[in-house]
Amino acid sequence: MRELLSEALKKINSASEALIKYYQLLEDKVKLLTEEVEQKKRLLSSIIESIDIAVVFFDRDGVIRLVNKAAEALFKINAQEVIGKRKLPIKIEDEKVYPLNSEKGFYAILSETEVFDLEGNRTGKVFLCKDITRIRELEAENERNRRLTAMGSLVTKIAHEIRNPLGSIELFANMIAEDLKDSIYGEYARRISTSVRVLRNTLENMLSFTKGINPKKELFCLNDLIIELKEEFKEFFSKVGVEINLDLQDKIEVFADYSLLKQAIVNLLVNAYQAMPEGGVITLSLTKDNDYAKIIVKDTGYGIDKEIIDRIFEPFFSTKDKGSGLGLSITHSIISAHEGKIQVSSELYKGTEFAIFIPQR
C-alpha cells in the first residue's frame, strides 16, 4: 500500500512539473503574441498618423474614438476636444468642406465605410477625407492654358489685321484735327484719334501677351516719355473730367525699351481713368530710388478691394464689365522683362497708387 501511494505521488509530481512547464510555455507564447499585437497596433497607429488623409473612427454608438493628425490639420480641430463627441465641427456643401471655426473651405473626396470584426459584427464606421483643392487648381490651370494656346494664334492674326487700318485711321484723324483745329470737326477728329490710340494699345497688349516680351533697350530720358504721355492724354482726360498732373523732381535717363515702357504706363493711365468714371486726378511722378528710376501713377478713384489686390496682375482678371483683363498683366510682364518691379497700394474710395521701378543701367 505504501509503495502504491509513493508511486501515485511520483506521478502527481511529474504531472505537476509538466503542467508548470506547459503553463510557462503558454505564458511565453502569450507574451510573444501580446508583443506582436502591440507592435502591429503601433505600426497601424504610425500609418494612420502618417498619411495625408483625414481619418475619423466612430464606434457602433456613433461616438468619435479616433482622430488622426491629418484630420486635426484639415478640420482645424484638437483631437482631444472632439473624441467622445458624436459630430465633427465641419459643414459639407457643394463638394467642399468648411471647418466651422474657419471661413475658408476646401474641395475634398469624402468616404464613409462600415467596420466589422472577424465574426462579422459591426464595430462602427470610419470617415475619410482627402483635400483635393490643389488638384482642382491644377485642372483649372491646365484648362485655361489649353484655351489660351488655342486663342493665342487666333488673337495674333486678328490683331495684325486690325492694327494696320487703325494706324491709318489715327494718322488721318490727326491730319483732319490739325486742318480743322479751330472748328468742332477738329474736336471730333481729336476724339477719334484718342479712341483709336486706346484701341491700338489694347491690340498691343494682346500681341505682347501672345508673342512674349523682348525689350530692345536704348538710352533715353524718362522725363520726355512722361511729358509726351501727358500731352497725348490731357485733352481726352479734360473732356471726361480727369485732371493729369506731373511731379518730375529729377532728370532721369534709363537704358530700356521706350515703346514697351510707354505701353506699360499707358495701361496704368487707362486703368486709373476707368477707376474714376465721375472724374478725378491722376498724378504722374518721377524720382530716383537708389539704382532705380521710380515712376508713380496715382489716382483718386474707387480703389481696389484688399481681397482681390493680389490677383490684379493675373491674365484676364478684371473687375470691370468691359476690358480684356490684360492691361495690368502686360504691364507687370514688361517691367519684369526689364528686371524691374511694380508695387501697388490702394484704399477703397480714396484711390490707388502704382509704383514702377526700372533699373537705370
C-alpha pair distances (Å), 266 with each of 126, 127, 147, 331: 59, 55, 27, 9
Tell me what the mean pLDDT of segment 16-27 comes to. Answer: 75
C-alpha cell at 226: 512722361
**CA pair distance 90, 324, nearest whole angstrom:** 39
pTM over 0.75? The answer is: no
Q: Which residues pair with 99 in a beta bridge?
A: 90
C-alpha cell at 343: 508695387
Tell me what the mean pLDDT of segment 175-183 comes to. Answer: 82
pLDDT at 118 over 60: yes
Q: Tell me: the pLDDT tens digits for 155-168?
A: 677 777 777 788 78
pLDDT at 289 over 70: yes
DSSP helix/strand/coil, 262: helix
pLDDT at 126 over 90: yes
- Which of 271, 275, 273 is CA-nearest to residue 342? 271
Q: Under 8 Å CB-to-CB from 294, ≥6 apart: which residues?
A: 285, 286, 287, 288, 355, 356, 357
Tell me what the mean pLDDT of segment 328-348 comes to. Answer: 92
Tell me what the mean pLDDT of segment 227-233 comes to. Answer: 89
- What does the radius of gyration of the chain's CA atoms come to, in whole angstroms? 37
- Which of 69, 42, 65, 66 is CA-nearest to residue 53? 69
Tell me which of 253 and 37 has the higher pLDDT. Answer: 253
The rounded mean pLDDT for the chain is: 84
The strand pair at 54-59 and 122-131 is best described as: antiparallel
All structural domains of the chain, each given as residue ranges with its CATH number in brackets, are 10-136 (3.30.450.20), 138-212 (1.10.287), 218-361 (3.30.565.10)
**CA pair distance 160, 158, nearest whole angstrom:** 5
pLDDT at 173 over 90: no
Task: Give residue 12's pLDDT band: very low, low, confident or very high (50, 70, 90).
Answer: confident
DSSP helix/strand/coil, 55: strand
The single-letter code of the amino acid at 302 is: Y
* C-alpha dihedral sign at 80, 81, 84, 85: negative
**CA pair distance 294, 292, nearest whole angstrom:** 6
DSSP state of 302: S
User: Tell me, what's the pLDDT at 125?
Assistant: 95
pLDDT at 59 over 90: yes
User: Tell me, what's the pLDDT at 321?
Assistant: 57
- Which of 171, 77, 172, 204 is CA-nearest to residue 129? 77
Task: Give residue 210's pLDDT band: very low, low, confident or very high (50, 70, 90).
Answer: low
Tell me what the mean pLDDT of segment 318-324 comes to. Answer: 62
Angle at the Cα of 278 from the Cα atoms of 330 and 240, rounded to 5 degrees:
75
